Amino acid sequence: MVAELGLFALILALLLALAQGTLPLIGAARGDVALMAVGRSAAYGQLFFMALAYAALTYAFVTDDFSIAYVANHSNTLLPTQYKVSGVWGGHEGSLLLWVLILSFWSAAVATFSRSLPREVLARVLGVMGLIAIGFIGFTLFTSSPFERLLPAALEGRDLNPMLQDPGLIIHPPMLYMGYVGFSVAFAFAIAALIGGRLDAAWARWSRPWTAVAWAFLTIGIGLGSWWAYYVLGWGGWWFWDPVENASFMPWLMGTALLHSLAVTEKRGGFKNWTVMLAIMTFSLVLLAAFLVRSGVLTSVHAFAVDPDRGLYLLLFMAVVVAGSLTLFAWRAGKVGLGGGFGLVSRESALLTNNVLLAVSGAAVLLGTLYPLFLDAFGLGKISVGPPYFEAVFLPLMLPLLLLLGFGPRLRWKQDSPTEQLWRLRWIFVASLAFGMIWPLFVGNWSFLAGIGAFLGLWIIGSSLKDLVERLLPRAGSRQTLGTRAKRLGRSYVGMQFAHIGVALVVIGITFVLGYDDERDVRMAVGETVEVGGYGFRLDTLERVQGPNFVADQATVAVFRDGQRITTLQPQMREYFSQDQPMAHTSLHRGFFRDLYVNMGEPLPGNAWVMRVYYKPYMNWVWAGVILMGLGGFLAATDRRYRVRVRREEDLPDAVGDSSSKTSAAPV
């Protein structure tokens, strides 16, 4: 019963999406207010029915309804309840349902928070969102319905993949999808602007907070995925340049470029075409990610069951979206006009450089990800492109970008003097270079990579803090209190600095962990001690333990440093009742300067196991940096100016020749 209810709700959601995808667009073209108003109601209705469909599937999971094929394949009566709830997105069909639910959520959010938008613009944005929803709800209904019945019903479910039974995975997909699908809003705004032929600073201002929120979600989502891989897969790695990871990284790179390009469009009215192009590309890469993961062309933890229909549907959908939006772009973009000019050294040129570097990085990742697939698809051979390629390309591309990051945000719009800015930052530069080169010596032998990483990280943090302090210190003749000055900074500016400092932490973390991590695969018998990264690991006991839906071999490992006991780690090798595959469960001790990590391999004769022991310096700096970046994105999106209705067009620095350097100190 509940499956039919869910399916029915899904069909109704599709019908509402059809209404939302057509009527408001027609209304906007004809100036018909009633038709335009359909968009908002349809968006709410679609969200309602999607939520109903989603709730129906969740109910089926919680009540162990194994007459539904999807539930029978991804759940089990013994599965703890929180994993039954998160098991809904543990497979292709359910995760797609979550994707669509989030899409309708974003539609409804636009309908709610964009009351200040002109009627036509809102109608077009919701119309485009509706069109996207038609594509995805149709995909769910016609190729991947999670409500298919299983006849006869299974007595017991096949259980959720044990790798997915983890708190990190409860939140990773929703966060990631919030990000992916969130970029559909930026895309819809861009397409709406192209249709309306009105691509101005107001458009950029409306679009910017949505982009920032989507970007923040995607950042956190990718970070969570990496965090999950780090401790669940038990390989001690956190980024493998796996095609699926790349699939999420490409929209992130483009989205980051978009975020920065929007700054120029909003503040200076420039880069309009480029911004629109980036919005289109970002969303296209999101669709590409969906295709890569869901078509079965890839094999990885994420790849779902292979079904050629799904791949074909997504490929066609992607083709329609990309071709359609690029045609529209070619047809309309000429009309939008150019922004103001700018000098060789200016905020604009810095952001342009940022964009070029990010776009090139994105293209390099695209090449490395798609080329093997193309060769394979055309039967030209099987090759793979490993991490060395991505590392070889990324390091030289990120180096100038990170150098610029400490410098660019301080540049004035339109024209600035490079010597003056560099002169002001000379001490920061010298200090960060000196400390950066010395810092690695506290961790181990000197490494060039760690030295560069520490220097760049300190350079970014130093110049960000200097900028913050300068803005907070009282100016001569000003009577503002510190509180007022802090308020005047604006959340947009503070968010930017958060995100940039987050980048710096990620850079330091990555270069240090790459330079100094220590991994040892060793035979450990009870009572034996091994030394890794200056820590002693002693295997004390081996025992058999019982969990809710598994039994496990558990090792108790005492960790020492300089004779002092630091912690006790208890890794397990679990055997889940429902599967014949054993699964290693890592035990971690996290710390500010290092993680210690023990993983069980295989039993050996003589009361011993093969164990994997890791020392991971500065690992938590990466996660902290990602969190800071995400927070920065959210903070920037809540800036006051996005909530204030733009009453007069003249308030916005639209066309050429606007008031020059007086506004230059304004935050990006």
Partner 1 sequence: MKKRQKRLLLVAGGLAGVAVVAGLVLNAFRDNLVFFYTPSDIVAEIVPMERTFRIGGLVEDGSVHRAEDGVTVHFRVTDTAVAVPVVYHGILPNLFREGQGVVAVGSLEDGGVFRASQVMARHDETYMPPEAAEAIKRAQREQARTVGHADGGY
b/e burial code for range 388-417 (CB count within 10 A of at least 16 → b): ebbeebeeeebeebbebbbbbbbbbbbbbe
DSSP string, 507-533: HHHHHHHHHH-EEEEEEEETT-EEEET
- Between CA 288 and CA 325 the distance in angstroms is 15
388 binds partner 1 (CB under 8 A): yes
Q: How far is the CB of 84 from partner 1 (least distance, A)?
A: 19
Residue 306 CB coordination number (10 Å): 12
Compare residues 389 and 560 and give the one whose CB is closer to partner 1.
Answer: 389
- Between CA 370 and CA 454 the distance in angstroms is 33
Among 584, 588, 619, 631, binds partner 1 (CB under 8 A): 584
Instruction: List the interface residues with partner 1, window 70-129 (CB under 8 A).
Output: none
Q: How far is the CB of 176 from partner 1 (least distance, A)?
A: 19
409 binds partner 1 (CB under 8 A): no
| 485, two tokens | 């000055």
381 binds partner 1 (CB under 8 A): yes
Among 115, 334, 378, 382, binds partner 1 (CB under 8 A): 382
580 binds partner 1 (CB under 8 A): yes
**Cβ-Cβ contacts under 8 Å for 42 (sequence gap 6 or more):** 16, 17, 19, 20, 23, 24, 126, 130
299 binds partner 1 (CB under 8 A): yes
| 188, two tokens | 């819809």
Q: How far is the CB of 32 from partner 1 (least distance, A)?
A: 46
656 binds partner 1 (CB under 8 A): no
Compare residues 38 and 583 and give the one whose CB is closer to partner 1.
Answer: 583
- Between CA 666 and CA 555 the distance in angstroms is 58
Site string for partner 1, 585-624 (x = CB under 8 A): --------------x-xx-x---x-x-x------------
Site string for partner 1, 301-340 (x = CB under 8 A): x---------------------------------------
Pick the piece of the chain touching partner 1 (CB under 8 A) from 103-111, 114-122, 357-365, 450-458.
Answer: 357-365
b/e burial code for range 535-559 (CB count within 10 A of at least 16 → b): bbbbbeebeeeebebbebbbbbbbb
154 binds partner 1 (CB under 8 A): no
Among 396, 477, 483, 657, binds partner 1 (CB under 8 A): 396
Q: β-strand 529-532 against 535-546: which pairing, if any?
A: antiparallel
Q: How far is the CB of 514 from partner 1 (least distance, A)?
A: 17
Q: How far is the CB of 371 from partner 1 (least distance, A)?
A: 8
Instruction: List the interface residues with partner 1, window 426-465 (CB under 8 A).
Output: none
- Between CA 464 and CA 504 the distance in angstroms is 10
665 binds partner 1 (CB under 8 A): no
- Between CA 639 and CA 249 the distance in angstroms is 26
Among 356, 437, 530, 551, binds partner 1 (CB under 8 A): 356
- Between CA 391 and CA 383 the distance in angstroms is 18
Compare residues 334 and 381 and give the one whose CB is closer to partner 1.
Answer: 381
- Residue type present at position 265: T
* Site size for partner 1 (CB under 8 A): 42
Q: What is the largest CA-CA distance in the chain?
A: 83
Binding footprint of partner 1 on the chain (CB under 8 A): 161, 163, 299-301, 344, 349, 356, 360, 363-364, 367-368, 371, 381-386, 388-389, 392-393, 396-397, 521-523, 579-584, 599, 601-602, 604, 608, 610, 612
